[in-house]
Amino acid sequence: GALDVAWAPNVGRTYHYIATCGRDGGLQVHTIQRRKKSKQSKVDQPLLEYEGHQNLESDQEVWRCAWNVTGTVLASSGDGGVVQLWKRNFHKQWKCVSQIQGD
């Protein structure tokens, strides 16, 4: 089951990021695209389409995840006493850019 879910703040993007972590130790970033409403549609809400997810390779079981204020950096923590910071690179891949060891 899921241990934590975190929605990234949407700062002018046409898509949403949702981070999840679960009992299996996995950390994932899901992308949901907002589509424009077609002229035939009578629905007033924007259409959403699931684009997929990326599994992030963590060295520890991940219990918590949280985004920074702009939704560009994801922090994760777990049973290893380490906070990992993740950023998306120009290849559209999420990579660990920093690790902070707890006392």
What is the model's pLDDT at position 41?
64
What is the Cα–Cα distance from 37 to 40, expressed in whole angstroms? 8
Region 5-25: mean pLDDT is: 90
pLDDT-derived band at 36 (thresholds 50, 70, 90) equals: confident
Region 8-29: mean pLDDT is: 90
Domain holding 60, by residue range, is: 2-101
68 to 9, 35, 42: CA distances (angstroms) = 8, 25, 36
What is the model's pLDDT at position 24?
74
pLDDT-derived band at 39 (thresholds 50, 70, 90) equals: low
Of 41-45, 54-58, 71-75, 93-97, the least confident: 41-45
**Count of domains observed in the chain:** 1
Question: pTM, whole model, 2 decimals?
Answer: 0.85
Does pLDDT of 11 surpass 70? Answer: yes
